[in-house]
Amino acid sequence: MLPLLRDLAVAMLQTGERARLAVARTEGPDGGALDLVVERDREPDLAARAALADFARRSNAARISWRDGAGIVEPVAHITPVAAEFGPAVVELPPGGFMQPTTAGEEILRNAILAGAEGATRIAELYAGAGTFTFVLAKMCRVHAVDGDAALMRALSTGAGRSGLGGRVTTETRDLAARPLLPGELKDIDTVILDPPRAGALRQVEQIVLAPTVRRVVMVSCNPQTFARDVRVLVDGGFDPGPVLPVDQFPYSHHLECVAVLTRGG
Distance (Å, whole) CA 153 – CA 148 = 8
User: Which run of H or E residues covers position 112?
Assistant: helix 103-117
Helices (H), 201-262: 202-208, 224-236
- Residue by residue, DSSP assigns 177-214 as TTSPPPGGGGTT-SEEEE---TT--HHHHHHHTT-TT-
In the 8-state DSSP scheme, what is residue 239?
A: P
Spatial CB neighbours of 162, under 8 Å, sequence gap ≥ 6: 89, 90
Using only C-alpha atoms, what is the Rg of the chain? 20
222 catalytic, yes or no? yes
d(CA 211, CA 226): 21
Active-site option among 126, 222, 261, 262: 222
Residue 154 C-alpha from the chain's centroid: 13
Q: Please count the residues of the chain.
A: 266
* Residue 217 C-alpha from the chain's centroid: 18
Task: Give the residue numbers annotated as catalytic, written as ranges.
Answer: 222
